[in-house]
Structure 1
Amino acid sequence: MAKIDSFEDLNVWKEAVRIAVEIYRIADIAPLKNDYKSRDQLIGAAISISNNIAEGFEYNNNKVFVKFLHYSKGSAGEVRSQLAVLVKAGRVNQEEYLKLKSELIVLSSQIKSFINYLVSLEKNQTLKHEPYSH
């Protein structure tokens, strides 16, 4: 994997931002537009996906970054859950829901793959530093 200099270089962060912008667009359409509590909760959960990726990256520590990636993945699930309720309540249209649900599942999978990569990287670095023993 190429060296990443900033969280803005991460594809998972870029995709999380794209999805959050889409959530903002949906939140500006009635009837969700006028359901302030649901609107705010949905937007908050959506932006926490990219925010947790950014925050975790900035600690410059893979173990901490992995923890924040788990939070980010959890937020993606939270957004899916909120959208499921909102579509059943008639606040979000079914087509938008299905599209976003699919995109959020893909993003969650990408985040999980990234977590697995970082964990294996950490394990390999630990093994390299352990003294040889018989």
Structure 2
Amino acid sequence: MPIKCFEDIIAWKKAQDIAVVVYNEFKNNNDWDFRNQICRASVSISNNIAEGFDRGTKPEFKRFLYISLASNSELRSMLYLALRLDYIDETSFKNLLLQSEEVARIISGLIKSITSNP
């Protein structure tokens, strides 16, 4: 079944879920610069999936999926820092890391499917 809109993309849905968790997890963090950066990285994942899909071409979609993947990596890096700074507990860290890894696998699979189906 072909994807008709970005809201149908599983990676987009799961990336939105991550952003909600990140916003809730860090909403009371007083380090504004850190909070802003981690929230922006989390939102960027789903936004780039949406923007790339609506560009309407496979090369553009693929390019934005790579950007989304990079934002996801930024989020993971920030999560490690958050743990080291005691901004997040071990359980929340592990849960977000697992979600992020799942999204990365899905995005990578989507990139491969675009690449193998020109």
What's the TM-score, normalizing by structure 1?
A: 0.86
**4+ long deviations beyond 2 Å:** none
Gaps of 5+ in 2: none
1:41 maps onto 2:32 in alignment? no
Aligned match of 1:20: 19
How far, CA to CA, are the matches of 2:13 and 2:101 in structure 1? 15
1:59 aligned to 55, 66, 69, which one? Answer: 55
1:114 aligned to 100, 107, 110, which one? Answer: 110
How far, CA to CA, are the matches of 1:4 and 1:102 in structure 2? 25
**Bigger radius of gyration:** 1
Gaps of 5+ in 1: 123-134
How far, CA to CA, are the matches of 1:91 and 1:17 in structure 2? 21
Question: Amino acid of the residue matched to residue 84 of structure 2?
Answer: K
Task: Report the identity percentage.
Answer: 33
Deviation at 1:65, TM superposition (A): 0.3
How far, CA to CA, are the matches of 1:59 and 1:106 in structure 2? 25
Aligned-residue RMSD, C-alpha: 0.7
Deviation at 1:5, TM superposition (A): 1.3
Aligned match of 2:67: 71
